[in-house]
Amino acid sequence: MPVEPARESGGVPPHAAGNGSPGGVWWTWGMDSATTIFDRLGGAAAIAAIVADLYERARHDPELSGYFHATDMDNQRRKLAEMIGEALGGPQAPWLLGLDQAHQGRGVTHRHFSLMAAHLMDVLIERDVDPDEANTVMNWLSSGRDAVVEDPDY
């Protein structure tokens, strides 16, 4: 059986060569570790701004404001920004409570979770976040629903 000759450029597979491949060694394609979604959104400052907008909206939403009436909002903004930052590939958050512990006894409903999510989506749109990136952020948020919602019937 003939042995395949070694190929230059790290061994581009024959089916991919010459068809617009991004170049470099093929096993690194799609592995662009130089940027994370955290970087692409603009890093800690951009995420802090998104979180500030989100809580501004929540505090002016008559259905949500009650949850935060006794909350130190500076602290709250910092914590959520750190949590989101870490989830999107930024620095590890100096840890905090788990999501279920943080929301225990708060009685968050599905409806209120969805309202919060809608506010976040609005903020991302308002800030011209790329739709694919916004989708990633929203999927992450949605993965916390079961831990946050305490009243699954509503």
Smallest distance, Å, CB 74 to ligand HEM? 12
Smallest distance, Å, CB 35 to ligand HEM? 23
Smallest distance, Å, CB 120 to ligand HEM? 9
Nearer to ligand HEM, 21 or 141 (CB): 141
Nearer to ligand HEM, 12 or 148 (CB): 148
DSSP 21: -
Nearer to ligand HEM, 20 or 105 (CB): 105
Distance of CA 39 to the CA centre of its chain: 12
Cα dihedral: 126, 46, 61, 104 (round 10)? 140
Q: Which residues contact 73 (CB under 8 A, 6 or more apart)?
A: 55, 59
Smallest distance, Å, CB 73 to ligand HEM? 9
Sequence letter at residue 72: D
Instruction: Say if residues 103 and 96 touch (Cβ distance below 8 Å).
Output: no
User: Can you give the binding site for ligand HEM, defined by CB under 6 A?
Assistant: 64, 67-68, 70-71, 76, 79-80, 83, 96-97, 99, 102-103, 106, 108, 112-113, 116, 141, 144, 148
- 7 φψ region: left (φ > 0), alpha (ψ -120 to 50), beta (else): beta
Nearer to ligand HEM, 57 or 79 (CB): 79
